[in-house]
Amino acid sequence: MSGTPSGQQPDHEPTAAARAELIRQIRAGGHLGDPRWRAAFQEVPRHLFVPYYFVATPRGYERLSGSDPDPARRARWLEGVYTDGALATYMRDGELVSTSSQPSLMAIMLEELRVEEIEAAKEARETGEAEKQPSDTGCRVLEIGTGTGYNAALLSHRLGAEHVTTVDLDEEITGPARDRLAAAGHRPTVVTGDGARGCPERAPYDRIIATCALPAVPPAWIAQSAPGALILAPLATGLIALRVTDPDAVRAEGRFLATPAYFVPLRARPDPTAQLPHSDPTAQPPHPDAPEQPGPPAECGGRHRSRHHLPREALRDDRFHFLRTLTADTLTPQEAHTLWHQQNRPPRERFGVTVHGTGQYAWLDSPEGPHRWVLPGS
- Catalytic residue list: 101
Within 10 A of 70 (CB to CB), how many other CB atoms are there?
A: 11
CB 214 within 8 A of CB 236: no
Distance CA 68, CA 81 (A): 14
Within 10 A of 161 (CB to CB), how many other CB atoms are there?
A: 18
CB 230 within 8 A of CB 113: yes
Distance CA 172, CA 262 (A): 23
Q: How many CA atoms lie within 13 A of 364 on its CB side?
A: 17
Residues forming beta bridges with residue 95, ordered by sequence position: 92
CA 73 to chain CA centroid, nearest Å = 29
User: Residue 5: enclosing H or E segment and its boundaries?
Assistant: none
CB 26 within 8 A of CB 104: yes
Instruction: Name every residue whose Cβ is closer than 8 Å to that of residue 113 and which is 6 or more positions away in sequence.
Output: 141, 207, 209, 230, 232
